[in-house]
Amino acid sequence: MSARDPILTEIKSRRGAVKEIAAACFLTPQAVSQWRHVPRWHVDVVSRLTGIPAHQLRPDLWDAPTGGSGPGGTPHTKEAA
């Protein structure tokens, strides 16, 4: 069993965050509570709601921003799980 992502643990500690993320992702709060990391298809929504850049939510999928790449960074070109 893999360990829970520390950033996701911090997000879940914010009052109302799980409900807000769940509603925006069309999921139940219980489903969001079971995440071990933010699924790649929900990174943009979670980033927008929390203010945490995509490259911090999923550094395995996103490179840190450089120059004009935008606030969330750029996606890796390889497919990741």
Q: Give the C-alpha separation, 78 to 50, whole Å.
A: 26
Please tell me the predicted confidence (pLDDT) of residue 80.
46
Q: Give the C-alpha separation, 31 to 39, whole Å.
A: 11
Please tell me the predicted confidence (pLDDT) of residue 1.
43
In this predicted model, which residue has the larger pLDDT, 55 or 78? 55
Helices (H), the chain: 6-13, 17-25, 29-33, 43-50, 54-57
* Model confidence pLDDT, tens digit, residues 15-63: 999 999 999 999 999 999 999 999 999 999 999 999 999 999 999 998 8
Query: What would the CATH number be for the domain defined by 6-62?
Result: 1.10.260
* pTM (two decimals): 0.73
Please tell me the predicted confidence (pLDDT) of residue 12.
86
